[in-house]
Amino acid sequence: MPPISVLVVDDHAVFADALRARLDAERDLEPVMVAYSAAEASAKLAAHQPDVAILDMRLGDGSGLRLADEVRTLAPKTRVIVLSASGSVDAVVDALELGVRAWLSKTVEVAELISAIRAVHGGEAWLQPALLGHVLTAQLQRSARPPEDRLGVLTEREREVLEYLAAGIGRAETATRLGVSVNTVRSHIQNLIAKLGVHTTLEAVAVRNSQRSPHSREGG
């Protein structure tokens, strides 16, 4: 069998380099490349078209969810694995809807990650057993929503951020009101843009205005 090319995307250089070194020890995984930012990942995806990309969900310059969406255009044959510290069921379902093939915790044994790499390269999906039942339930709940409910894919916090965007409130002020960092607000914006299938905040607000969310915190 030909070797499996892998791209590790993580902005924690020590973690990324250690994972690359471990994967490099597997004879069927080569080359193993690393990108330390979303921008670098986009460039390497387009240039190298790796068989498998392993993405962290939180990157210093962007969202792993947004990057997972971009993979479908930049490298259509690349299979995506998310390796994340988060175990949010909503985030897992969002990722699966964007074509992600596997979601694993960052605390997973490397042997299981290697098995997942080989599985998704072979066309399989991979979820850890503790997540599987919750994810299937969430997917069934989403499928029961009316098709016009585009805002229903957003989390409560993402809807809050969208309301602030619609009110013309900047990221810094939004962060202050929500009690989070500006980087966290930026990640929420990138995630909601990806989920709504738009490209800019203006388009996201247009979706909100054309289809008012019943969950709006300000009621209008």
From CA 8, how far away is CA 15, in angstroms rounded?
10
| Per-residue pLDDT band at 216 (split at 50, 70, 90) | very low
pTM of the model: 0.67
Q: Is a pLDDT exceeding 80 seen at residue 12?
A: yes
> Tens digits of per-residue pLDDT, 32-58?
999 999 999 999 999 999 999 999 988
Structure tokens at 85: 């510290």
Average confidence (pLDDT) over 137-141:
67
* Domains by residue range for the chain, with CATH: 4-140 (3.40.50.2300), 150-210 (1.10.10.10)
- Which of 73-77, 88-92, 141-145, 170-174 comes out lowest in average pLDDT? 141-145
Report pLDDT for 143: 59
Q: Is a pLDDT exceeding 80 seen at residue 156?
A: yes
Cα dihedral sign for 154, 158, 161, 165?
negative
168: which residues sit within 8 A by CB, 6+ positions away?
Answer: none
Report pLDDT for 217: 41
Other CB atoms within 10 A of residue 26 CB: 16
69: which residues sit within 8 A by CB, 6+ positions away?
Answer: 98, 99, 194
Q: Is a pLDDT exceeding 70 seen at residue 123?
A: yes
Query: How long, in residues, is the chain?
Result: 220
Question: Is there a contact between 154 and 197 (Cβ–Cβ < 8 Å)?
Answer: no
User: What percent of the chain is helix, strand and coil (3-state, nearest 5)?
Assistant: 55, 15, 30
From CA 55, how far away is CA 63, in angstroms rounded?
10
